[in-house]
Copies of this chain bind each other. A is one copy, B any other.
């Protein structure tokens, strides 16, 4: 029952096959009122029916006169004309009275009851908008293919064109497939049944269809059954639509029917593209209708859409390809890539000092938040094994460039109060890029100049101080400031009811406990090792000591799901997932900020948030936080 991909194609080959196959596809034309035509594309050239102005019109407020009547007027010998006979008051836009051919501006007149006087001759057609100055009846206003703007609508009306023939918006039918899917309306009404997933891709891709100028129609969720999907695709392709998207089932597994369906109903043009995400895509032709087998993972689905469906929809309408804006970036850490695959790596961007630092986001095709968090995409070609840390690379921007300038880059230890800080910055028009690599990772990022700030909670086990001795040792010679964020309770996260009755770190070795550790270099790990040492417990006696996670929340999730019995973390993480919490210690969490960034608007905004009593209250509400000294400058 397992199939293999047909010959995989490169992205460029696949696009060439797809676009050339459907190059003549055209959704046809329709006549619509000009006032509704902004954003649409002309299907035929448009010629003006009226001239604008349609008559000689005064271009200024003043008097309309015949220029020859004014000849000879000078400063020393002014001329006077009789109002109603040879001079006529006009306002801007008024028709020029018969026999007149120029306007003298109000500002250049002296006026009596029935006369006007002036000191300079007018030249013929002075301050007059002649018939057709803007638009001449019969002239072509816009050629075929013109994307109409609001200004074009104004020009159409002005030219007496009240309806226009435009390209129809392509209709796209979207077919979600998968036994595990539940529609959001049902989940909203009755909750999500266990083991099910909310169907979201149709709405994501539907939104992208709309952005590409098309109209989408959702079809009901289909089960993973070949004949059902085959019939649905068959009906869809015969419905007169311009594209069909079959969601999920595009890979080569036993339940992946799309390729076979397309082969059965028409022709599979491409199955599999050497790009990540988006590899398991199917491009097909069913009776002249482009049918795209879209991978089921949301990130793959979006990449497949943006590479194939979106551009084809735009071409059908004669819209220009969406423009890629690129910037030079420097990865904050190595971005590896497989030879033979084109990797599309989503990155967070922020300008740190003179250059834009790119921090790779999680690369899993299932991680939709890696798209919503992304500022850009770094493409790594088939022939490259990746980009090294600090090596220049090119990122395509997914957000306005200004967004990058407004981003504070935080690299270091994770703390839940950073989410609240992000919201506070957002309200002030800034954004926070928060990357979690542990406290030591943060210090090294400060050293490399790859971030604005680093959250850190590193205990010096020799004197009980936090952070200061680490800064002295690892950031010697680099001027930095240290700002206190919070004191927070760390403890053991255990399932509700504490079934293994864990009372402290000593129990990790003595009871039958599967522990989940934090990664080496994290403040929490330092703290654990310190407490184990104090209690005389050997790490080798702890089951799971070698299993590592990178954030408090990840540890909490593992405990919640039963993947571990216990892990060290903050109270806020326990609260968030309704776990029990065994306090171990209250520790200090600070922010290291390079001196050179300290006076910047972004850091000033951050300090103003730390001084805000509302913010302190919000952090306390998370649980396990002590905010008395928040914002204190320690260094």
Contacts and interface: CB of A to CB of B under 8 A. Distances in A.
Interface of A: 2, 34-35, 38, 45, 50-56, 59, 61, 91-95, 101, 106, 124-125, 129-146, 149-155, 157-158, 160, 162, 178, 180, 184, 187-188, 192, 194-195, 197-201, 203-208, 210-211, 251, 253-255, 296, 298, 302, 320-321, 323, 364, 366-369, 371-372, 400-403, 419-420, 422-423, 425-427, 429, 431, 547, 553-554, 556-558, 560-561, 563, 576-577
Contacts of A106: 2, 253
Given A151-B372, A203-B157, A429-B145, A140 B560 contact: no
A135 B192 CA distance: 15
B426 A563 contact: no
Given A51-B557, A130-B561, 19 more contacts: A38-B210, A55-B195, A92-B296, A124-B547, A131-B563, A134-B364, A135-B368, A136-B576, A140-B419, A143-B423, A150-B205, A150-B210, A154-B200, A154-B201, A155-B200, A157-B198, A158-B200, A158-B368, A162-B188
A100 to B, nearest CB: 12
Identify which of A53, A95, A158, A371 gathers the most chain B CB atoms within 10 Å of its CB: A158
7 contacts: A35-B203, A52-B368, A132-B557, A150-B206, A153-B200, A157-B184, A320-B400
A131 B427 contact: no
A92 B298 contact: no
A352 to B, nearest CB: 21
B138 A577 contact: yes
B401 A132 contact: no
A238 B251 CA distance: 59
Contacts of A151: 204, 298, 302, 368, 371-372
A452 to B, nearest CB: 18
B146 A426 contact: yes
A467 B142 CA distance: 31
A91 B364 CA distance: 17
Given A38-B210, A253-B106, A426 B298 contact: no
B251 A92 contact: yes
B364 A129 contact: yes
A180 B94 contact: yes
A54 B157 CA distance: 55
A180 B94 CA distance: 8
A475 to B, nearest CB: 30
Given A192-B50, A200-B154, A323 B423 contact: no
Given A157-B200, A368-B155, A323 B93 contact: no
B419 A553 contact: no
A422 B184 contact: no
Nearest to A180: B93
B149 A207 contact: yes
